Amino acid sequence: MTPQHPRFARAYARAVPAINLRGGTEHRRTLLAGLRGRVIEVGAGEGSSFGLYPATVESVLAVEPDDYLRELAGAKAQAAPVPVTVVPGTAENIPADDGGADAVVVSLVLCSVAD
């Protein structure tokens, strides 16, 4: 079972547009620039990063523990310029094989990682 934080999830989803206008989008764009191959995104939230992945990325495995945010992310994954698969999981239990990615992306999530 993955952790659920329904109040936080809904508040975060409502706050994201303002965060993005205040530099969140540019932060994500810089973070993702130069990536290539297979990427795992830990704590994908509502999917704000998906539209910013460069064409050099083959695929993204987006891990999100919260059901509400994962549902929002799934909708954004459909419009992403690269293939994005949104799955339940946490940083401590990423549903991927060892060596299953060329890069791992984390942003605004490490405060929730226990170890």
Architecture in CATH for domain 6-112: 3-Layer(aba) Sandwich (3.40)
Q: What angle do CA 80, 73, 105 make, to 5 degrees?
A: 75
pLDDT in tens, 32-85: 999 999 999 999 999 999 999 999 999 999 999 999 999 999 999 999 999 999
Please write the tens of the pLDDT for every residue from 1-13: 456 677 888 998 9
Please name the residue that has the structure tokens 């530099």: 23
**What are the extents of the domains in the chain?**
6-112
- pLDDT tens digits, one per residue of 74-103: 999 999 999 999 999 988 889 999 999 999
**48: closest CA among 68, 25, 23?**
25
